[in-house]
Structure 1
Amino acid sequence: MATTTAPGAPAGAAPRRGWRRLPVVHQLRQSVGLQRGMLIAGLVLTGLLILTALLAPLLAPYGFNQLRDADGAFGAQQPPSAEHWLGTTVGGFDVLSRVIYGSRTALLVMIIAIAASLVIGVLLGLVSGYFGGWLDRVLVVIADAVYAFPSLLLAIVLAIVISGGQSSMWGGVLAAALSITVVFTPQYLRVVRAETIRIKSEAFVESARVIGASNGRIMLKHVLRNATRTLPLIITLNASEAVLTLAGLGFLGFGIEPTQAAEWGYDLNRAIADVTSGIWWTSVFPGLAIVLSVLGITLVGESLNDLADPRLRTRRASADVTGDVAATSVVPGGALTAPGGLEGLEPGTEATR
């Protein structure tokens, strides 16, 4: 079987377009102008959040609950210095270390909450949309009721039920993640349900039924793949909401104890009294970490949402065609050519037929 190669590539060279079809790379190549700038900025901020969370023990100068070193105690509310680049908190913790370790807590909540809500919501949406009937009506009513419930209030209730308001690292992470899961699940359920209802009437699904495929095989092999194409857009937007919900829990005093894990919302809560005293570093840096994390994830989600619009792809295709046409001279009867091609023409000469 003959293989095709890119123009100008050596004969027998393997195709090099595989990596260009990767999800993020593909969207980045589709983007133009402001969309590309927003997507790149979002990817950079999100990448910094992930790298900081993964490399927290290497980047943080101290532990998140460390109060002293070889020279003695750090001291409370110390201003930024060579020993503590971002100062210390009212509890005597290093601000930079807690900001760095706080990214790990935020990332854990995002992963657990989105993974759980994605699995539950997709499965319920498939079942609801494919079978319909009374089960569909019951699931839709429950989803609407849960979706109408305030997410932060639900998070507070679950945090109290699970851990009594104050908890260890995993207790606080699971309390926040479970509350976010309950809120996010109806979104995935409704999206997948609507797509399943549309797809199950397509010809290829009917053909699978005719040849004797079971309902489970049709749902997993034919419907699931086509019903989940828009979920990456929802995932990115929900990730930023997960960070805000976790910070809201900590700010209201229902988060993780400072000796168990670092959490940005709790540090902001403890820094409220410092603001009136002119101590700015204990609140500015945790708040800035929340803003940049949410901003980065939101920019990625909004950019992917815009790139899902076919009109943007049409504009990019039109720009490419315009560039090609501008470089080509077309006259009635065909293009002008010269012996040996246009490259052989001297500057200032005209091509003749």
Structure 2
Amino acid sequence: MELRRSESRSRSQRSANGGKMRNSGVRPLWYRNLVRLAHTRAAAVSIATLVLVLLLSVLGPLFSPYGQNQLDVPNAEQGPTLDHLLGTDDYGRDILTRLMYAGRISLTIGLASTVLSVVLGATIGIASGYFGGWVDAVIMRLADLLMSIPSLPLLIIMAALLSEFKVPASSRIYVVMVMLSIIGWPGMSRMIRGEVLSLRERLYMKATEALGLSTRSRLLHHLLPNVLPLLIVQTTLSVAGGILMESTLSFLGLGVVPPNASWGNMMAAASNLMDFQKRPWLWIPPGVAVFVTVVAINVLGDRLRDIYDPKNERA
């Protein structure tokens, strides 16, 4: 009788403890990782910097008294003043206003080209790593072929073709996005393929096959969630690469062209020795914008990699 009472009390205690655990709840992994990221000083500073850049680029032009291409010829080539906080260019256009508009274009190209390359690269990489065989061989040889061609000369050739066919300035923005995504997907696909090759040999993937789950279910519900951490980190780092590549092309006059402003074509003023020495307000602001944005993105990407790396997970 006493033994039964003891067992009953034990079951009641376990039930109560279970109820407490359910009520308190265990935070999901993404939430715990987000908290860890927010408590990392370098990541917090990077996030704050990127939010500020985004706000200035998206909302800043709405509050500017000047238009992107509004001319003020009497005040052309003027240094920073109260009316023009960062000065004016050769045509009297406000540098601060153009800098914010340029941020829209540079960030959009960096983000859009990265999303395109990640979607394409992840899809191809997962298919290549999971199915193997001739599918893997064909895809990887194509990726090797594209990766063997130096990216910058290839982009310069493609950009020169745009000029040859007289592609409108407004359309070049979209073409640059596609160009950057084309050179970005092979590296992404190889990285994802390597991760999938490792994951598909795990016991839980063998179990899904033994249970007779469909290929779609195995890929979407069991393989993709375990590839996401790598995708998140690489996507973050790729955005910085996209912004740098766009700035390089635009600096060389092969990317975004006037009258549309980008950080790259604004820095082209540094190619003129007179502007470089006598009018630094023309090229220093866009240069600082690129530097700060890329460093912030890279620091954030490094912190994300530290958090998602299993070696750094805390018990």
Residues in 2 aligned to 1:123 and 1:275: alpha-carbon distance in whole angstroms? 46
Aligned 8 A contact 2:74 2:92 in 1: yes
How far the C-alpha of 1:194 sits from its partner, in A, is 1.4
User: What is the match of residue 265 of structure 2?
Assistant: 266
Q: What's the offset of the Cα at 1:18?
A: 6.4
Residues 146, 183 of structure 2: 8 Å contact kept: yes
Q: CA RMSD in A?
A: 2.7
1:329 aligned residue: none
Partner of 1:295: 295
Q: Take 1:265 and 1:74, find their aligned partners in 2: how far apart are those partners?
A: 26
Identical-residue share of aligned pairs (%): 29
TM-score (norm 1): 0.75
Letter in 1 for 2:52: L
CA pair 156-24 structure 1, distance change in 2 beyond 3 A: farther
CA contact (8 A) 1:114 1:238 kept: yes
- AA of the residue aligned to 1:62: Y
In the other structure, the counterpart of 1:61 is 65
Q: Is the 8 A contact 1:192 1:228 kept in 2?
A: no
Q: In structure 2, give the amino acid aligned to 1:264.
A: W
Which aligned segments of 4 or more residues in structure 1 are displaced greater than 4 angstroms? Answer: 14-20, 162-170, 309-314
* TM-aligned CA distance change 1:276 to 1:210, over 3 Å: closer
Distance 1:157 1:187, change over 3 A: same
2: CA distance between counterparts of 1:169 and 1:49? 25
Long gaps (5+) in structure 1: 7-11, 30-35, 318-353
How many residue pairs were aligned? 298
Contact 2:66–2:97, Cα closer than 8 Å, also in 1: yes
Letter in 1 for 2:249: L
Q: Which residue of 2 aligns with 1:153?
A: 153
Change (3 A) 1:53 1:126: same
CA contact (8 A) 2:229 2:308 kept: no
Q: Deviations over 1:151-205 (max 9, x none)?
A: 2222222323345487555423222222221222112211221122222223333
Deviation at 1:19, TM superposition (A): 10
Partners of 1:272 and 1:283 within 8 A in 2: no
User: Which has the larger Rg?
Assistant: 1
1:49 is the counterpart of 2:59: no
Aligned partner of 1:205 in structure 2 is: 205
Partner Cα distance (1:191, 1:65) in 2: 43
Unaligned runs of 5+ in 2: 1-14
- Mapped to 2, the partners of 1:249 and 1:85 lie a distance apart of 28
1:343 corresponding residue in structure 2: none
Where is the helix percentage greater, Structure 1 or Structure 2? Answer: 2
Which residue matches 2:5?
Answer: none
Whole-angstrom distance in 2 between the partners of 1:223 and 1:20:
17
Q: Match for residue 238 of structure 2?
A: 238
Partner of 2:34: 24
Instruction: For residue 297 of structure 1, report the CA deviation from its aligned partner.
Output: 0.7
> C-alpha distance in 1, partners of 2:169/2:47?
28
Q: Do the aligned residues in 1 keep the contact of 2:269 with 2:276 (CA within 8 Å)?
A: no
User: How far, CA to CA, are the matches of 2:42 and 2:257 in structure 1?
Assistant: 36
In 2, the alpha carbon distance for the partners of 1:20 and 1:280 equals 45
Alpha-carbon contact 1:41-1:299 (below 8 Å) kept: no
Distance in 1, matches of 2:233 and 2:136, equals: 25
